[in-house]
Amino acid sequence: MTRLGLCLALALLACGRSGRERAPAAPDLDVDDVPRPEVATSMPPTETVPATPAASAAPPPAAPAGPRAVATEAGPPPPNAATLGKLEWPATTTSFALRRDAAAYAQPDPKSEPLGKITEGTRLPVGEAVDGDKRCKVWLAAAPRGWLCARDAKPSTKPPLAVALPIVPDGRLVPQDYYSVDKGAPRYASEDAVRAGTALPEPKTQSTYMVRKDDKSTVDIDGVDYVKTSVGLVASTELTKFRPAAFAGIDVVATPPPAWPFAWVYADDRKTVTARAAADKKAPSAGTFDHRAIVPVLEEVGGFVRVADAQWIDRKSLRVVRVRPRPEIAGAHAKWIDLDRDEQVMIAYDGETPVFVTLFSSGRRKKDTPPAIYRIRSKSSLTKMSAEERETSHYEVSEVPWATRFRSGLYFHAAYWHDRFGHVNSHGCVNLSSRDARWVYDWTEPVMPAGWSELEVPLEGSMIVRVYDAKTPEPPVFDYEKEAKERVKIRKREKRLKEARLAAEAAAAAAPPVGAAGTPAVPAPPTAPAP
């Protein structure tokens, strides 16, 4: 697949339907050699992204640290003796470890408010236990809050310990290596299917897949390397590796910008932009500025912006950052985020004070990321995103890190597949660089507890996310009650469409195409590459 073809295919990617994917289990926390032990079963620390130098393109920031193991700073509380007796656990028990990913609830009742999900292997303090019913006989207090069913837990002689998710290996920007499946590449359900040449059917004529890969996922089948992916076995030669962008936003508290307002230079070729000696495109050249250089906005005349003495840049080649007053929403959290669709600029505020600024990519059409005042609703350390059945083309992204949702199907998340931040590029979600998505995920509240892979956020008191543009500078408050009713109808419709598609695929599989000689035409698996 050509680089141009790959870029065009990725431009079609959207957020659409997201499915909460089971997060990879934390390292076996029932052993002593957990990497990087730090502090507290409370909250993981946030990271400050290095600031971008003011006069040139930002150099690649240092890679984030590896997995953050979290233990109790002052020592874990002693196990609750009544709980040990109720569950008949040994007196040597010092914590309980989760047998599998477990849902946490606000009350010891599966019908109470869901709080999120805690990952398999996490070890929690042994606190209070209460009797339940036939749905769950005993409930255990979870850390730092909530309740989970005791059948998901086992006693451990190790101290409480949890790992902040997702786990990012040292020297990497993202948790895994990620690849695109080349357009038209066959996918197989099993090794036998590879040998028989029986490929999986495509949901749509235009399908795009992005998958993760690790060192243990490759198998040799008759001399050809195949990779086990979430969408089936794919020949390794049919995978193209992504290289996540190193771009990062600016901590404007630690490193104030040269002026307010200021701007990023945005070069369409991602190289340089030429400045003019006057506010005229025919004026003599006055030097060049690198793509994403940061410049002050000193004066604006006739479609040009003066960024220094006798240096004017075309307004279209700048992404201007301007502060705006906070929306007047009673009871909202002090922290909030402003998204300027016209400039593709995000500002994170604490009260009236801007603390972080970056570039993002929103939906290519206004309706994809519609202007409104939203709220932070949930977080997922890793999630799967795919097209809805009603969409004309199909895509599936098996793993998206640092997903922070503000309405159904719309998230802040890492977009490791492109580096067009500052230009519309998504199907609705707010695409951020890996570093910036991680910053938003860590900074927004409530903070994801260590060991948790999913976190639900109550509407009351949650953080504001304002999406606006020049045509809608004061957007309406989003109606979440109306959304909930509409989603019930959408889920029913999606279920019907999916059932119809799967039935059609089964029928097609039962009647394979016929070749020229009247025999079934079986696609041959790829041949082994020459040594």
289 lies in some domain: yes
What amino acid is encoded at 31 in this protein? V
Confirm whether 41 is domain-assigned.
no
* Structure-derived torsion over alpha carbons of residues 77, 79, 81, 87, reported in degrees to the nearest 10: 150
In a domain, 34, yes or no: no
pLDDT of residue 19: 63
Give domain status of residue 126, yes or no: yes
Residues 225 and 281 in one domain: no
Give the pLDDT confidence score for residue 76 in this predicted structure. 74
3-state class (DSSP) for residue 453? strand
Q: How confident is the model over 51-102, as pLDDT tens digits?
A: 333 333 444 444 444 456 555 455 778 999 999 999 999 999 999 999 999 9
pLDDT value, residue 28:
46
Tell me whether residue 150 is in a domain: yes
Answer with the one of 211, 241, 271 that is the final residue of a domain.
241
Q: Which sign does the torsion angle of CA 133, 134, 137, 143 carry?
A: negative
The confidence score (pLDDT) of residue 500 equals 83
> In whole angstroms, how large is the CA radius of gyration of the chain?
26
Co-location of 232 and 291 in the same domain: no
Judgement on whether residues 135 and 198 belong to the same structural domain of the protein? no
pLDDT at 498: 81
* pLDDT score at 492: 86
451 contact partners, CB below 8 Å, separation of at least 6: 26, 41, 70, 118, 119, 122, 124, 162, 163, 164, 165
Give a yes or no: residue 196 inside a domain.
yes
Residue 46 within a domain: no
Contact predicate 252/356, CB 8 Å: yes
- Provide the b/e sequence for 33-71 (b: ≥16 CB within 10 Å): ebeeebeebebbeeeebbbbebeebbeebebbeebbbbb
Residues 156 and 183 in one domain: no
Q: Length of the chain, please?
A: 531
Domain identity same for 113 and 150: yes
* CATH code at position 81: 2.30.30.40
Q: Which two tokens stand for residue 344?
A: 């593709």
Residues 200 and 237 in one domain: yes
Q: Based on the number of CB atoms within 10 Å of its own CB, is 514 exposed (0-12), middle (13-18) or buried (19 or more)?
A: exposed
- Location of structure tokens 């890969």: 213
Residues 188, 139 within the same domain: no
Q: Which of 296, 321, 346 is the last residue of a domain?
A: 321
- Residue 345: C-alpha distances to residues 23, 462, 519 (Å): 30, 22, 58
- Domain-terminating residue out of 198, 213, 241: 241
Residue 497: domain span: 484-511
Low-confidence spans in the chain with pLDDT less than 50: 1-14, 27-66, 72, 514-531
Q: Does one domain contain both 126 and 151?
A: yes
What total of structural domains would you count in the chain? 4
Q: Which helix (H) or strand (E) holds 212?
A: strand 207-213
Using left for φ > 0, alpha for ψ between -120 and 50, and beta otherwise, residue 183 falls in beta
Lookup: tokens for 71: 């233990």
399 lies in some domain: no
Q: What is the pLDDT of residues 193-234, one digit of tens each?
A: 999 999 998 888 888 999 998 768 899 999 999 999 999 999
The amino acid present at 507, given as its one-letter code, is A
Q: What per-residue confidence (pLDDT) applies to 74?
A: 59
228 and 297, same domain (yes or no): no
